[in-house]
Amino acid sequence: MLNFIGVHECKADDKGRIMFPAPLRRQLQGIIDQGFVVKRSVFDRCLELFPMSEWNKEMDRINKLNRFVKKNNDFIRMFMAGVKVLELDGNGRFLIAKDLMTFAGLQKEVVLVASGTRIEIWDKEKYETAVNDPATDFGALAEEVMGSMPYDTSTE
């Protein structure tokens, strides 16, 4: 299973191309040539970049939904809105489509954020605002989300 690490500041050129950071390329060795899928985030004004292998796992879950249930169908339509396949060009860059750039409010300064099996793509200013939100007490959030999970100290 992939588990990306790192926060990487990048620049988008006038066409929306972003250089894929070398540390992330190294983490993707062996699967980078399979390509990627980029989509709108469900909860934030950012994008999510999935390696194709992880996207296929995500779609396996989505495809189990019964399409004859209207809310499932509505969810799938909204989840898939703006989804694009992308690949790195010969210079190690990827192109973000204009509609996705607009959705995420991406400007010249961009941040690629490791988020488990996906990479979030944020406008730098929006990212800084999100992670430094004074209304969010991170300690309380951590306790609420992680505090009831069993803590496994085994090193298997």
Dist. CA 5–CA 28, nearest whole Å: 11
Q: 86-115 burial, b for 16+ CB within 10 Å, e for fewer? A: eebeeeebbbbeeebbebbebeeebbbbbe
Whether 40 and 100 have beta carbons less than 8 Å apart is answered as yes
Q: Give 43-97 pLDDT, tens digit per residue.
A: 999 999 999 999 999 999 999 999 999 999 999 999 999 999 999 999 999 999 9
pLDDT at residue 142, as a whole number: 86
CATH code for 7-146?
A: 3.40.1550.20
* pTM summary value: 0.89
